[in-house]
């Protein structure tokens, strides 16, 4: 069946890869559709299967887009993930991920090959920007106060980094344009 999903009238249809553009940093077209508070990592925003598939594609496509090693197949993803993953289910979900802009797809001979629509770091940047922007937009000072409280609780080095970034941002410049520190601060493991 070639059933097409209905698009709301105010939203254009999602482009099909390989010409799919990078997703915008906020708002419509963002990878953030829901945020699962009881999950961790990519599962908070993608769901369990999509997160597994995207992680597999990142692992299987280390090369540049132009190189053959930069693309993978559904069969290779299924092999990587193990026997618990059904080929047809993986195929359906990966094709939906293409529609969302999370994966790119191209036709190679008789099969489609896939690669991630963006790097892990780019997706994390986009998702965190979307979430933080939304919280600050919707809840203003309360969201900012909670962010500072959380940074202080998690680790004072995070608050120092925020102060450093805030001090180096000229008025009107977005945080996404600030140079990143030499050594990124890794999140702490919660015990």
- Domain range list for the chain: 43-116, 120-169
Q: How far apart are CA 138 and CA 132, in angstroms?
A: 10
Q: How confident is the model at residue 168 (pLDDT cuts 50, 70, 90)?
A: confident
Please, are residues 81 and 52 in contact by the beta-carbon 8 Å criterion? yes
From residue 30, alpha-carbon distances to 21, 53, 124, 131, 133 in Å are 12, 18, 12, 10, 12
The mean-pLDDT minimum among 115-119, 138-142, 173-177 falls in: 173-177
What does the chain come to in residues?
A: 191
pLDDT (tens digit, 9 = 90+) per residue, 75-127? 999 999 999 999 999 999 999 999 999 999 999 888 899 999 999 999 999 88
Convert 32-63 into a string of H (helix), E (strand) and C (coil).
CCCCCCCCCCCHHHHCHHHHHHHHHHHHHCCC
Please, are residues 94 and 78 in contact by the beta-carbon 8 Å criterion? no
Domain range 43-116, CATH class: mainly alpha
Does the pLDDT of residue 170 top 70, yes or no?
no
Convert 143-159 into a string of H (helix), E (strand) and C (coil).
HHHHHHHHHHHHCHHHH
pLDDT (tens digit, 9 = 90+) per residue, 51-79? 999 999 999 998 676 676 789 999 999 99
Q: Which residues contact 80 (CB under 8 A, 6 or more apart)?
A: 56, 59, 60
Q: How far apart are CA 135 and CA 127, in angstroms?
A: 12
Omega of the bond leading into 18 within 30 degrees of 0 (cis): yes
* 159/136: higher pLDDT: 136
The helix-helix angle for 120-139 and 141-154 (nearest 10°) equals 130
């Amino acid at each position: 069946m070639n059933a097409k999903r209905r698009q709301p009238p105010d939203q254009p249809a999602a482009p099909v890869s390989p010409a799919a553009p990078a997703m915008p940093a906020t708002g419509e077209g963002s990878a953030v559709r829901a945020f699962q508070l009881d999950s961790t990592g990519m599962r908070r925003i993608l769901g369990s299967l999509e997160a597994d598939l995207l992680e597999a594609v990142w692992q299987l496509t280390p090369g540049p887009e132009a190189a053959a090693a930069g693309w993978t197949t559904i069969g290779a993803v299924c092999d990587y993930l193990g026997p618990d993953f059904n080929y047809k289910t993986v195929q359906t979900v990966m094709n939906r991920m293409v529609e969302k802009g999370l994966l790119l797809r191209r036709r190679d001979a008789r099969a489609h090959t896939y690669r991630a629509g963006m790097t892990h770091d780019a997706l994390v940047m986009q998702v965190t920007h979307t979430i933080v922007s939304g919280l600050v937009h919707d809840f203003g000072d309360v969201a900012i106060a909670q962010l500072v409280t959380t940074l202080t609780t998690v680790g004072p080095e995070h608050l120092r980094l925020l102060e450093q970034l805030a001090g180096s941002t000229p008025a009107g410049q977005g945080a996404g344009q600030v140079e990143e520190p030499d050594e990124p601060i890794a999140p702490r493991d919660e015990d």
